[in-house]
Structure 1
């Protein structure tokens, strides 16, 4: 366990902000864009940012292991671990859409200790440390006070395995469009969660995400006064679970009811979950 979590956060933030300079430099002219899967992209920027962060974070906390998107293997999450998504929203980045970020979190097993989500194109850096609150560019943030689904702006995302989950996705989108003020799909789960923490979105849900997509955002929402859990089934969330729901708390039960329990099998969830709650990365 780390004794001074709050003391680690400024150094972590500094490293993530420095990594953001590479994203800024490459934005508008991404290099070496290639496919990891049918619609899953990786760029030279993803790889460069991840290499930079693993070097810098190892200096900050040498005893911690790494779970990073571009270099992860099937891994059990245990002990101190840096969890890194170097460029969340790579497809956005490749198309010049600015909703992209870097997400870095430090966990002890399944316990989040600190998190940083930096959106360099937007000039927004979200940070949190366990028990210390959540911040945007050093100003405190809090989840919204919206308590009506009709007044709620809800975010979601669509997984790379969209064909395999299309019926479920469309059923949920239909329910959200009918019952809420609106639904948004910006394309970066880490930023979606940060926006829930900042009260810009009232709730967020998605399926088939990997730990690096949500690790920092989960802590941001919790420290900003929100609630994070699973849905179908409505269980406490663990990194690697198939479905995640984050909300301002006031809307959580309503969102669960809206998403509803269906016959979408828990067998599917268990087949994707690995020991320690980690989903293996997608195809290379």
Structure 2
């Protein structure tokens, strides 16, 4: 992907995310089509916009979206994987923790990712072997540290995360919204560890996977196995995203003890 193409797609996602933020005041956009899955009219609009724009720029590259009615286990060699609104509950509730995100996946590996949090005015981007950026400023490589700040989506840690923080002698906690956003906070050094011990889907994590890789962060399934962008989209094991390998290994060990 050329630098100009990179810039074009980032602008598309930024344009969408700004619209998504405005739609919070639109009662039609807030209409719930599915209370069980928490799917809104905004999700549908965002999906249609992204799919149309990406297809216009790259008509030969198929688009796979969270909002598709079905997801096949067999995937194209090259495709867009999109999450038009990651963190719809945060969006609906008036919180800042939602993003729009896009990944380009090639040969089962995300090679380009963009994650935009419009209310926070933050855009994370990365292109394979060309570095990662926050608002066009290069992100530094992640390094080992004695600090251990967890991130999760509740005002105070609870349940599994609270127990794990106690076991690992965590030094802090950060509240945030969507899976993509929490993962980006590890990549940019705001926090150190994110663990989600429930089903995670490829579109939740593909855009940030390349960002993490460019800064030396680690993404694994919660059991320590590699996160593979092949087969079913659902990863029932959950995920661990860690600042460095030592922290990753500690998290896997302690998480295994808690399960």
For Structure 1 versus Structure 2, the TM-score category normalised by the shorter chain is 0.7 to 0.9
How far residue 29 of structure 1 moved from its aligned partner, in angstroms, is: 4.4
Aligned residues: 246
Match of 1:128 among 111, 126, 129: 126
- Are the aligned partners of 1:16 and 1:102 in contact in 2 as well (CA < 8 Å)? yes
- Are the aligned partners of 1:90 and 1:100 in contact in 2 as well (CA < 8 Å)? yes
- Are the aligned partners of 1:144 and 1:202 in contact in 2 as well (CA < 8 Å)? no
In the alignment, what sits opposite 1:164? none
In the alignment, what sits opposite 1:14? 11
Gaps of 5+ in 2: none
**Structure 2 counterpart SS, 1:27:** helix
TM-score by length of 1: 0.79
1: CA distance between counterparts of 2:33 and 2:55? 29
Cα 1:114–1:213 change in 2 (3 A) is same
Does residue 248 of the first structure (1) align with residue 247 of the second (2)? Answer: no
- Are the aligned partners of 2:33 and 2:39 in contact in 1 as well (CA < 8 Å)? yes
- Are the aligned partners of 2:142 and 2:216 in contact in 1 as well (CA < 8 Å)? no
TM-score by length of 2: 0.86
How far residue 255 of structure 1 moved from its aligned partner, in angstroms, is: 1.4
**Structure 1 counterpart SS, 2:182:** helix
How far residue 227 of structure 1 moved from its aligned partner, in angstroms, is: 1.3
Cα 1:130–1:78 change in 2 (3 A) is same
Deviates more, 1:238-247 or 1:198-207: 238-247
* TM-superposition CA deviations, 1:141-171 (whole Å, max 9, x none): 13543433xx21112459xxxxxxxxxx934
Match of 1:50 among 47, 51, 58: 47
Does residue 182 of the first structure (1) align with residue 178 of the second (2)? Answer: no
Gaps of 5+ in 1: 159-168, 265-284
How far residue 92 of structure 1 moved from its aligned partner, in angstroms, is: 0.7
